[in-house]
Structure formats: structure tokens, C-alpha cells
Amino acid sequence: MSLRPNRLRRQLSQAALAVLALSSTVFGINPANAQDKVLHLYSARHYPTDEVMYQNFTKLTGIQIKRVDGDDAGIVARLKAEGAASPADVVLLVDAARMAVADAQGLFRPIKSAKLDAAIPAHLRAAPTPEGVTWTGFSTRARVIVYDPLRVKAEDVATYEQLADPKLKGLLCTRSGSHPYNLSLFATVIERLGDEKGQAWLNGLVANMARPPKGGDTDQIRAVASGECGVALTNSYYIARLVKSDKPEDRKVMERVRVVFPNQATTGTHVNIAGAAVARHSKNVDAAIQFMEFLASPFAQDYFANGNNEFPTAKGVTIDNPALKAIGGDNFKADTIPLSVVAKNLTKVQQMLDRAGYK
């Protein structure tokens, strides 16, 4: 489960450090070769649990981490502006679409790592090239459906495709269609449906809108709870945050809505990633790869994924998160379509959104 920073530090017991030491052995982390090195990290993740993870990487390796925080767009803009003079070694972003856009702009360096190949499933990484792999997902989140059980039947929102059904006219709410969370989902569905059916599906979503797209994912959940909408799309971790909240108003929201992990009988629920890449102009590539490999270790996966109520990507690693269990996140079928394939459709999907009038 997710823990507050102070409690996390208290719980770094000898047993936890033993797991950390085991991870360092398995992933070949060698502090003797890393003294006095500095790793420059550009990160769009801002969670206390990540800070604890970074501290323990330093304890294991002797490599100090200097971090620059920002949002995805700001980090990408900074990398482009700095060019070859950039000090960045590793880049952390929070969406496959954003990773793909930065990759297409030549901001990442392909790397080869047998440890990452063995630990992280291929569909959660960039497509391999002879030079290597440019980005890797280290946690996932599910794009789920929330609905008002007083207005909508569960069987009518069991799939993403059903969101375009005319029986949901005037009930659907989403954030902007052009937001990367939605772009990644739409690109996945359209890859499955094909362009003609995919365009019809987007047209159907627009026809079913309760109001123009606005706000973030949490706003969509609250809009369903308030009765403004009957059904909405959101990432799973936003729901988990409300489940864990101590605020009475958040508990009331969750009492009013229900959650569906879509397409369980077919392709599985769409998942997105938070991922990392070695910066194109890294001056410390070996340490950068070492850090990437550390993120795939069981110890780091627990902190990396659980810090934002997400799911680990490394094979064989599970996390016991009561908030995710409460919404069915402990046992769902995830879509395994390669995110690298989905990323190739982003420009086309944006054009399709424009044709549908999806704001």
C-alpha cells in the first residue's frame, strides 16, 4: 500500500534493506565502480516514495542523483533547448504518447540491456532497433470507466466500444480528447477497429457527450457522482486516491459511482505507462543504464508503482494495494498491444479527432 514519507523511512528496516541488497546482486549494481559519479535526472514524477527510492539507489551505488522536476511538456522543451549541452542522463515521463513524441524528436538514446529485456515485457517498451531500445515502462495504470448505477447499467459500459452506443446519448463525460491519456486509449481502440470503424466510434463518442470535454480525470469522476454525467473515462490511480482519501466528500463520491475495467471478455483493459529513457546527449550512459536497471528491480518497482497507486511492470512483481483491490485492480486482464505500435497512430488519431469535432 502507499505510505506517507515519514512512515516509509521508518519502514526501511533491515529486512527491506536485505531485499534491496538482493536486488543489487540480481541487477548487477556495483558500488565499487560508481563512487563520486552524479546522475542528472529530469523527472515529471513528483512523489515522496520516488525520493526514498532515489536515496537507496545512491546508498547502493554511490551515484548521487541531481533532479530537475517539471511536467512532461516542460522537460521535453528543456531537452530540445539545451541540445548537446544538456546535462540530462535519464528522463522520466508519465505517458506512452509523450514518450513516443519525445522519442520521435530524437531526444532519447537507444540502449541495450539484457536485464531490462528479461524484466520488462516487450509490449511495455519502445520497439527494438539494431541500436537498442529507446524507452521502457516501469509502472502502468489502467484507463477505466466510471458510471452512475442509477442511470447506467454495468452491461452497457463493459467495453470502450459501447461508449459510442446511442443509448448513452447525453451521458458521456471526458477530459480533452487530445490529452495524451485519451490519445493513447483512442489510438489503441482504432488500431483494433481500423480507420473507418474507428472514425465512426469517435463520432459516436462526440454524439454522446453530456457537455464539452473539460477538466482532468478526477473532475470526470466527480461529475458522474454529482449527476452531471452518467459515465466517464479516468485513469485507475485517480480512483484509488479517492478511495484512500480521508475527506468525507471524497468518500461520498466513491459511494455514488461504480468502476468497470473494460473489455475483459475481449482484448483487455487499456494500460498506459510511466517510463524512462536515457537522454540522447547523456555524458554518463553507464550510470544511466544502471539506474534504469535499478528501476526494474523488485525493491524499486514497489516504490515506483505504489507511489502513485499504479501497477509494476517487471515480471513476477506484485503489489498489495488495498485501494486498487477495492476497485478490482488486483485481478484484471490488461491489453497487451505493444504501446510502440499505438504510438505510431497518434498523429492520425489527432486528425480523426479533429474530423469528429472532439475538443
Pairing mode, if any, of strands 271-279 and 311-312?
unpaired
User: CB atoms < 10 A from the CB of 10, how many?
Assistant: 10
> The cell 533547448 sits on which residue?
81
Q: What is the DSSP string of 108-165?
A: EE-B--HHHHHHS-GGGBPPPBTTBB-EEEEEEEEEEEEE-TTT--GGGGSSSGGGGS
**238 marked ligand binding residue:** yes
Residue 6, sorted as left (phi over 0), alpha (psi -120 to 50) or beta, turns out to be: alpha
Distance, in Å, from the CA atom of 123 to the CA atom of 120, rounded to the nearest integer, reads 9
The conformation of residue 127, written as its DSSP 8-state character, comes to P
User: CB atoms < 10 A from the CB of 196, how many?
Assistant: 9
Distance, in Å, from the CA atom of 234 to the CA atom of 174, rounded to the nearest integer, reads 8
- Alpha carbon of residue 163 to chain centroid: 22
The conformation of residue 101, written as its DSSP 8-state character, comes to H
**358 marked ligand binding residue:** no
**237 marked ligand binding residue:** yes
Summarize the annotated binding site as residue ranges.
46, 237-238
Summarize the annotated binding site for Fe cation as residue ranges.
46, 237-238
